């Protein structure tokens, strides 16, 4: 059964955005080429928040991507760059990406906060606002 991974990161200061964008682009390029990747897209949300939505053949394929290359290099930096970080995973019957609304619902119900060095109050409370999906905000890479 396909494995879904949803992440939400909020960059805590504009000064981290250039490095974040470079790391995000490299990680997205890596995901697009990764073995076992069925779909990958990103969403630029409000207030410095960014979502990813990916579907994998299985959890092992997602973990192989996560622990290699550009993504592995970026993960430790997110501790300092972000004041909110969350992840949700589940399996589903189809290989289609879930709608952003479903991703948000699952994040709130089944997700968890990831470690950040400077957590916001929203991070501490696991208050994850719904993504604002509009024209031009989502980038589908596969």
Of the candidates 18, 4, 2, the residue with the CA atom closest to the CA atom of residue 102? 4
Domains and CATH numbers, the chain: 3-140 (3.30.70.100)
Contact of 27 with 74, CB cutoff 8 Å? yes
**Strands, DSSP E only, in the chain?**
3-11, 37-44, 49-56, 82-91, 112-113, 138-140
Q: What is the pTM of this model?
A: 0.91
- Token digits of residue 25: 């682009």
Return all residues near 22 (Cβ < 8 A) that are at least 6 apart: none
pLDDT, tens digit (0-9, with 9 covering 90-100), for 59-93: 999 999 999 999 999 999 999 999 999 999 999 99
pLDDT, tens digit (0-9, with 9 covering 90-100), for 101-120: 999 999 999 999 999 999 99
């Amino acid at each position: 059964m396909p494995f879904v991974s949803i992440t939400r990161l909020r960059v805590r200061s504009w000064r981290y955005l250039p490095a974040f964008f470079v790391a995000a682009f490299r990680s997205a390029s890596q995901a697009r080429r990764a073995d076992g990747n069925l779909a990958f897209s990103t969403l630029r949300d409000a207030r410095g928040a960014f979502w990813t939505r990916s579907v994998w053949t299985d959890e092992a394929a997602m973990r192989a991507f996560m622990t290699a290359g550009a993504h592995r290099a970026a993960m430790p930096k997110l501790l300092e760059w972000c004041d909110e970080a969350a992840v949700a995973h589940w399996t589903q019957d189809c290989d289609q990406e879930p709608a952003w609304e479903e991703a948000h619902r699952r994040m709130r119900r089944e997700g968890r906060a990831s470690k950040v060095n400077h957590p916001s109050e929203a991070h501490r409370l696991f208050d994850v606002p719904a993504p604002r999906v509009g024209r031009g905000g989502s980038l589908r890479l596969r």
